[in-house]
Each structure stands twice: as C-alpha cells, then as structure tokens.
C-alpha cells in the first residue's frame, strides 16, 4: 500500500504528462489534413481516352483514437489526485513543541497553511523594533511603556561680552572686541520613552516561532506518511464523458 508522500511525489509527473498530452491532442485535432482521407478513380469518356491511375489518401488521425488515448492519461491523473485528496481528509498529526502538544489531529492541508503563515510571522517578528542598547531602560507600569532614568542637562544662552584690547587715549578711542559667552540660564530634565521591545523579548519570540515551524514541518511529514487507499474514479468520469 502506498503512502501519501509517495502519491504527492508521483502527482507532479502525472500532471505534467497529462497537460502535455492534452496540448498534443488539441494540436492533432486542429489540423484538418491528417483527419481527411480520399479515394477516387478515373474513367475516360471513351476507350481511346487517357487512362489515369486511381488516387487515395488514408485518414491518419481518428478523433475517437485521440479521445481514447487522452482518456487513459487523464484517468491516471484523476485517480492519483483523488487518492491524494481522499487521503488528505484523513491524514492528521499532532503538533508538539518541547513535549507539549499545541494542536491535536491537525489535517495535512491545515499544516500546509500553518507553514505558510509561520513563515510570514517569522519575517514579521525579525523586523520588530528593539530598544536602543545605548540606553538603560526600565518598564513603567503607569505609562505602559519603557523609560530611561532622568538626565539633567544645562540650558545655556549666549551673552555678548566686551574685551578691551587697547585703552582709549587722547588721540585714539578704545579698541573693543565683542565676543559671546555661554551662560547657564536653566536646566533640562529629560526622560525618554519607547514602545519598542527589549532584544531578549524579540529573541524569545523568534525562538518560539522557529520551534513551532519545526514542529509543524515534522507533523506534516508524519501526516504525509499515512497509508492511502487507491481511488479509481477516472474510469467512471470518462465512461460518462467519451462513451
């Protein structure tokens, strides 16, 4: 008795052959010449007339033969696909992570869905914003975000000052140079807030997603190892269609 994974492996080749033969059948039946035949003989008007040999062309392609051959190939495809789909209705497995059964008796089709979703989730989690490692963050329950300790900085203002380079004399005015001095005028107290996640939390989430991905893949392989019962439905379909 075959297993589901074997049927899945065979299906691709059977489907490819069926598609190819269907295209070839369509092409053969679209060409009028091979479908046509003729037979004719010539009789002169009188005994003295020219004698010509008979002419004939045999039919090279018969539509019924093409249908019969195509039905044989498609019957194989219909049977293989039916065997797979019937088996998919019963092929199930548990999803278990670190000894904990997360999901029980999951159909193989849903396991395939989970694989796709978990791949997208893994990419999403990898792009989650992470707290700036250059800061020391603590969780603030009152605001439900992360915050830093207050940092006090000086607020300065530029104030002009005069520097006398040369005193005034009775002949020359004083030479004065203007410069600016930063003078403290106050203090800023800054607290930073962030809705990002600690790197440890992101790594934990990634680890969980990756473990579940591995568990789903294992479960799918287990479900695909289930024995299948061959389904023979193609004959019934083509008995109705072509007979």
**Average of pLDDT values for 195-214?**
96
Residue 221: CB atoms within 10 Å = 13
User: What does the alpha-carbon distance between residue 74 and residue 239 come to, in Å, rounded to a whole number?
Assistant: 12
Q: What is the pLDDT of residues 67-123, one digit of tens each?
A: 999 999 999 999 999 999 999 888 999 999 999 999 999 999 999 999 999 999 999
Token pair, residue 57, equals: 């062309």
The predicted structure's pLDDT at residue 1: 65
Task: Indicate left, alpha or beta for 98 from its phi (over 0: left) and psi (-120 to 50: alpha).
Answer: left
* CB-based contact 183:159 (threshold 8 Å): yes
User: pLDDT tens across 24-58, in order?
Assistant: 999 988 888 888 999 999 888 888 888 889 999 99
> pLDDT (tens digit, 9 = 90+) per residue, 165-189?
777 777 778 787 888 899 999 999 9
pLDDT at residue 162 in the model: 81
């Amino acid at each position: 008795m075959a297993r589901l994974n074997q049927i899945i492996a065979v299906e691709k080749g059977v489907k490819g052959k069926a598609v190819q033969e269907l295209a070839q059948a369509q092409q053969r039946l679209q060409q009028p010449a091979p479908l046509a035949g003729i037979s004719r003989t010539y009789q002169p008007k009188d005994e003295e007339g020219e004698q010509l040999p008979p002419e004939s062309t045999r039919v090279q392609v018969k539509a019924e033969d093409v249908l019969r051959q195509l039905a044989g190939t498609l019957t194989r495809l219909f049977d293989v696909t039916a065997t797979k789909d019937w088996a998919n209705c019963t092929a199930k497995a548990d999803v278990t992570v670190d000894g904990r059964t997360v999901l029980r008796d999951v159909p193989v089709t849903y396991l395939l869905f989970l694989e796709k979703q978990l791949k997208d989730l893994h990419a999403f989690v990898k792009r989650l914003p992470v707290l700036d490692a250059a800061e020391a963050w603590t969780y603030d329950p009152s605001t439900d975000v992360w915050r830093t300790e207050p940092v006090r900085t000086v607020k300065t203002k530029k104030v002009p000052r005069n520097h006398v380079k040369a005193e005034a004399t009775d002949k020359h005015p004083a030479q004065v140079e203007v410069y600016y001095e930063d003078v403290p005028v106050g203090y800023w107290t800054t607290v930073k807030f962030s809705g990002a996640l600690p790197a440890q939390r992101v790594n934990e989430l990634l680890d969980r997603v990756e473990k579940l991905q591995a568990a789903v893949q294992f479960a799918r392989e287990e479900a695909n190892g289930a024995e299948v019962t061959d389904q023979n439905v193609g004959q019934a379909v083509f008995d109705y269609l072509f007979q």
